Structure 1
Amino acid sequence: MSDDARAPEPETETDPVLAKLDTLPVKPGCYLFYDKTGAAIYVGKAKSLRSRVRSYFQEGGSDSRYFIPILRKIVRDLETVVTSTEKEAAVLENELIKKHKPRFNVKLRDDKDFLCLRIDTKSAWPRLETVRRPSPDGARYFGPFHSATSARRTLHLVNKHWKLRTCTDLDMASRRRPCLQFQIKRCPAPCVYEIDRDEYAEQVRSVSLFLEGRHDELTGELERRMKEAARSMEFERAAIYRDQLKAVESARESQRVVSVKDVDQDVVGLYREGSIAEVELIKVRSGRVADTVSFSLRGVELPDEEILGNFLAQYYGDEAEVPVDVIPDEILLPVLPDGAEGVSEWLGDRRGRKVALVVPQRGPRVELLAMARENAEHAFKEKQRASDDIEARLDDLRERLRLPSLPHHIECCDISHLGGGDTVGSIVALKDGQPDRKHYRSFRVRTKTEGDDYLAMYEVLARRFRRGKTAKEAKEAEVIAEEEAEAGVEAEAPPSSGKKAETDWDLPDLFVVDGGRGQLGVALSAARDLGLHDLPIVGLAKERESVIGEKMVDRVYLPGQKNGILLRPGSSSLFFLARARDEAHRFANHIREKLGKARRLRSEIEDIPGLGDAVRKALLRELGSMAALRAATDAQILAVTGVTKRHLTAIRKVIAGPGVEAGAEGNAPPPEERKDEA
């Protein structure tokens, strides 16, 4: 190929971008960079679009962000959106990031689930419950809590000391006698008994004050109620208020006092090592630490200012995770994000009151910020240590089994049947030692195996490996096509098979079969028959350690090796293999039981071809049973709603009419009444 026919150099491709730089407006707005495929790779906001965007393409500029050199090489197009204010630019940037999910923008990932506590004060008998996603239904929401455990622990504390119902509206409407909660004096049973609504509303208000963190106000009210009950000689009621006071004091003692300011604060700490960062958010309410939550950011090539700006936009911009009423008075940050004034104004509009972004220089707030950074560093190192531990275990497994690479993706197969029937095969997947359920697969064995596990395993593995081979070939073809396209070669379109490439069937780094040398031989045959000679396959069997059967041990069998490798309990090598084996066994039994249940509940009428669900249900509903259908005449069957002569013909092909022997042609007329076909 001549030099003239080669693809254009990158400088030529970026000319359209450079041509747009001189026409950019000196106004606030958002800008989007696109690569050669037309995908957005970065979204940003600016006070002045012209100066901001031009700074990306100035040689020897002061922009030291990590991804700038990469961005200059791959950007092929530019788009800008002008806004009237910086606040509108901040809002638009958040929406564009959510829409395009650019490569170089921060992807906020929380290591914990958000849970909120909900109480509907408009209900006749409000109850406290956990919800995942708040909705604008007029109810009150408290949270979000940094973990499900924290939320449920709080719910348990409330249910223990404040007598609110715990049953659902449906249970309450159908209940005819009090439940166990009434017996242990944790519910007044409004479902059955007439109770004082004012007293119940008082409990609801106390719960709201407790969850809002207004402990001083709640303590005053509880002390007043306790004294009034004592003066009225209602000592049981006074004891209830006493226990509630102890619960409030216990909750207050578990919170660290960090400030005496009567303002709500969110403190953001940042710790990073290269492109991996950890953001720690400490929620301070009325001078006390109320909650903490950490976020892991990977592949971050942005400076601290942009990381924090994207974090604020994503975290506080999601109304489902952060309701408006939990946005604080001020947010303490190590550095101000880009467009801080616009972000502050946008948060203030969401909250309905002013929200300040503060970089403290002295005083207690500096100590708060230092504490947040320490927590971020601790969370970073703990997660890094957990990741390193998994890598060490995988490396130990690689060495013991002599694998070519770390087995990040492990699959295991198991066969399950019941007396030779309902035979199924299961394949489960582990990703870095954790179950990867989206890659679980189940197979119903089609071959009549008569309880032959080897035959069933060969069929299951052949079907799985065949799809894996198809996915591998499809990916290899894509790589070749991309390389030829980059070289300027006009490749011919591959013949289409009419089926979507099964790219979700990638072959694993290690395949495990539940069994010894026999099962391993079957798996190797299934793979080699398809030309998959490089797929690592091992067998895991639980066998007797000695000839007298002292105890059971796990052994791993490798191809071409007679004796298995003994894996002692507690070894890191056994950890992943045993987890995969046990999960495959559980999944196979689950599928087999599900299949057997469906078969047992199956009606004989479903074996009659030509009948739809509606017709089958009508026949059973009006005739009563299969026995009645067998005894029914043609006229009785045709009298069923929705049954036609076509349906009757289909039935008579399977079920003979009354007085006709099995195998006869239904209610056919006698020979003398037939027309001569000669």
Structure 2
Amino acid sequence: MCDKPKQAFPQLQFELAEFLADLTTRPGVYRMIDRNDIVIYVGKAKNLKNRVSSYFRQAGQSPKTTVMVGQIANIEIVITHTESEALLLENNLIKTLKPRYNILLRDDKSYPYIFLSDQDDFPRLAFHRGARNKKGRYFGPYPNGHSVKSSLNLLQKLFPVRQCEDSFYKNRSRACLQYQIKRCKAPCVDLVSQQDYAEDVRHTVLFLEGKSNQVIDELVNGMEQAAQNLEYEKAAVHRDQIGGLRRLQEKQYVSNEKGDLDIIAIEYQQGVACIQLFFVRDGLNLGNKSFFPKNAQHQSISELLSAFIAQFYISTTQSDRFIPDTILVSHAFDDRAIIEGILHEQSGHKVEIRDKVRSERARWLQMAQINAQTALMSRLSNRASVLKRFEDLQDALKMDSLPERLECFDISHSSGEATVASCVVFDQSGPLKSDYRRFNIDNITPGDDYAAMHQALTRRYRHRDEKSTAKLPDLLVIDGGKGQVKQAREVMQLLEITSVKIIGITKGEGRKAELDTLLLSETNEKVILPANSKAMHLIQHIRDEAHRFAITGHKNRRAKTRKTSQLEQISGLGPKRRQQLLKQFGGLQAVTRAGIEDLAKINGISKALAQKIYDHFHQ
């Protein structure tokens, strides 16, 4: 019995039959490990013996499982008390290790909220992301920053509550532009009473709580009262607010729901899954977000939903994710009862996951399902378009096989300052942003693009070759001409990498895209593809993405550098001594011109430290 499994799975570092025979039937988590000691899969089980044994059947496995099992060299087991503990541990390990064959949810951003500083005399409305530890009220979460900004923009028009920073608000001597365009009542310069301002704040809170009808009723009464008192301008303001709220209500599909709920629908085709998530808070539809889990091939909808809900909601810290009272799902899935129990324990309130609903909630699920279908069709269409571009690229460059991976490099700096190199990656699905990299370039002559390109390429590929497990591109695109392409060729020769094809792309005359030129590294031949060439569009796309990524990195690095004083780079010169120097000399420029003796005259600056300061500016 032992020989048969060993022949089927030769990479295993242990006797499979003995391992399975001794395996416990208790719940727990198992980790599949390859020969490079990398965890490639993490799973949980109610019965470890039955679950792990199922991977080693001689027939009936999915292609994905067959490939994965062929790479297993070792299996590690963690026994837990309950299946719930196993689910929690599995979820944490997946988020930490990101195994190659697990369904992965790429959603590491915290969700934004609207924050109201209701402890202040004149509260402020603001965009907030991160830990909710300030004193005040939080409304949300919203699916993305755009939703929050749209809501804040609308609220400014309806109820002009201030949104400026406290530092700006406390130092005003006259009203700002927001007052002039009637989006703030200028509490900073006492142009509104605290009572009137509080009324706007109250209406804002009611709106954010989903009580728009109550606000409208109050505004109608206020409009009628103002009209009776012949205060027609005030009545017109209420009229406009009512109209704005009515138009907003027309856009909100969910209107009668009183509590908090999330709506989740899934669509699966051609090995790609789309999960659509709608957020409803206090009866207000805050918007939706699309997710495309990684490694969805050959997975059932039940497995996909279970993995998504566990990874999205379950966290190690309770403040990471808001958990609503109800979660509506388009399909039934396994582990629902276990997940409900964990979410109940984590949130402190009962959480219900329902897939069988009627009436209006059924319409919401249908709405989410339609959105999931539409997003998936768009994704598949985009993938088909990208694949066609790859095929045209193969023909245009006469490549032996269809390229699977493209990498493009660009350099960005301002007259040699804060040089940054970018590397962006495309595969046959489009941009692969998880593999993007930036390199801060140092120790070169400022403005030397060739040296910067040489350094970036060397750092990117020095640990990659045909023998390593790290992926090499099939095509390396360099944003530049002969000089930059020559640097790429020299680096590849130095690192003995011969399988990568190199091309350069240069801007056409007048920076017109249709005149862009390709340079083939092997022959130094220039190629101009037709303006409607899909291959050229692909190369221009990755070039423009590398350019954008490099400029963003350069601006961030430059801003950081400019916020840092050169004095901070001198060891032994603390904050007090830096302050003393700047005060005594009247600024940094005078410090840079000062001699050693002048520096040493300053209290707290020794002769040795003065020498060090002088050397820093005069080396």
The aligned runs of 1:572-651 (5 Å cut-off) are 572-578=534-540, 587=550, 621-622=583-584, 638-646=600-608
The aligned runs of 1:551-590 (5 Å cut-off) are 553-559=515-521, 564-569=526-531, 571-578=533-540, 587=550
In structure 2, runs of 5+ residues without a counterpart are none
| C-alpha distance after superposition, 1:523-578 (max 9, x if no partner) | 54665566555542334344569xxxx99922223246576322454643333444
The aligned counterpart of 1:14 is: 16
- Residues 262 and 327, structure 2, Cα contact 8 Å, conserved in 1: yes
CA distance in structure 2 between the partners assigned to 1:207 and 1:627 by the alignment: 53
CA distance in structure 2 between the partners assigned to 1:323 and 1:596 by the alignment: 34
- Residues 88 and 342, structure 1, Cα contact 8 Å, conserved in 2: no
CA distance in structure 2 between the partners assigned to 1:78 and 1:388 by the alignment: 41
The aligned counterpart of 1:485 is: none
The aligned counterpart of 1:537 is: 502
1:82 aligns to what SS in structure 2?
coil
CA distance in structure 2 between the partners assigned to 1:596 and 1:207 by the alignment: 37
Structure 1 residues 370, 96: CA separation in 2 closer, same or farther (over 3 Å shift)?
same
One-letter amino acid matched to 1:372: A
Q: How far has the Cα of 1:99 moved from its partner? A: 4.8
Structure 1 residues 396, 79: CA separation in 2 closer, same or farther (over 3 Å shift)?
same
Q: How far has the Cα of 1:641 moved from its partner? A: 2.0
1:379 maps to which of 370, 375, 380: 375
CA distance in structure 2 between the partners assigned to 1:652 and 1:298 by the alignment: 56
One-letter amino acid matched to 1:440: R
Q: How far has the Cα of 1:222 moved from its partner? A: 2.2
Q: How far has the Cα of 1:11 moved from its partner? A: 9.7
RMSD, aligned α-carbons: 5.0
Structure 1 residues 102, 554: CA separation in 2 closer, same or farther (over 3 Å shift)?
closer
The aligned counterpart of 1:82 is: 81
Q: How far has the Cα of 1:345 moved from its partner? A: 3.6
CA distance in structure 2 between the partners assigned to 1:12 and 1:631 by the alignment: 71
The aligned counterpart of 1:472 is: 464
The aligned counterpart of 1:343 is: 339
CA distance in structure 2 between the partners assigned to 1:627 and 1:276 by the alignment: 63
The aligned runs of 1:300-449 (5 Å cut-off) are 300=296, 301-318=298-315, 320=319, 322-324=321-323, 327-329=324-326, 331-338=328-335, 340-350=336-346, 352-360=348-356, 365-404=361-400, 405-406=402-403, 408-413=405-410, 422=416, 427-432=421-426, 434=431, 438-441=436-439, 443=441, 446=444
Structure 1 residues 136, 349: CA separation in 2 closer, same or farther (over 3 Å shift)?
farther
What is the percentage of aligned positions where both structures have the same residue? 26
| C-alpha distance after superposition, 1:125-173 (max 9, x if no partner) | 2222212225143432222222332221111111111110121111111
- Residues 411 and 427, structure 1, Cα contact 8 Å, conserved in 2: no
1:217 aligns with 2:233: no
2:476 maps to which of 510, 533, 539: 510
Structure 1 residues 94, 77: CA separation in 2 closer, same or farther (over 3 Å shift)?
closer
The alignment of Structure 1 onto Structure 2 pairs a total of residues equal to: 596
1:252 aligns with 2:249: yes
The aligned counterpart of 2:294 is: 298
One-letter amino acid matched to 1:232: N
| C-alpha distance after superposition, 1:266-312 (max 9, x if no partner) | 33222223653222223456878553322111213543333322322
Deviates more, 1:181-190 or 1:134-143: 134-143
Q: How far has the Cα of 1:617 moved from its partner? A: 7.1
Q: How far has the Cα of 1:191 moved from its partner? A: 1.1
CA distance in structure 1 between the partners assigned to 2:361 and 2:251 by the alignment: 21
- Residues 225 and 238, structure 1, Cα contact 8 Å, conserved in 2: yes
For normalisation by structure 1, the TM-score amounts to 0.71
One-letter amino acid matched to 2:20: L
Structure 1 residues 556, 162: CA separation in 2 closer, same or farther (over 3 Å shift)?
same
| Structure of higher CA gyration radius | 1
Structure 1 residues 94, 239: CA separation in 2 closer, same or farther (over 3 Å shift)?
farther
Structure 1 residues 52, 264: CA separation in 2 closer, same or farther (over 3 Å shift)?
farther
1:280 aligns to what SS in structure 2?
strand
The aligned counterpart of 1:483 is: none
CA distance in structure 1 between the partners assigned to 2:423 and 2:217 by the alignment: 56
Structure 1 residues 201, 430: CA separation in 2 closer, same or farther (over 3 Å shift)?
same
Deviates more, 1:560-569 or 1:175-184: 560-569
- Residues 265 and 332, structure 1, Cα contact 8 Å, conserved in 2: no
Structure 1 residues 231, 32: CA separation in 2 closer, same or farther (over 3 Å shift)?
farther
1:118 aligns to what SS in structure 2?
strand
CA distance in structure 2 between the partners assigned to 1:424 and 1:276 by the alignment: 41
Structure 1 residues 160, 320: CA separation in 2 closer, same or farther (over 3 Å shift)?
farther
Structure 1 residues 508, 197: CA separation in 2 closer, same or farther (over 3 Å shift)?
farther
- Residues 544 and 552, structure 1, Cα contact 8 Å, conserved in 2: no
One-letter amino acid matched to 1:382: S
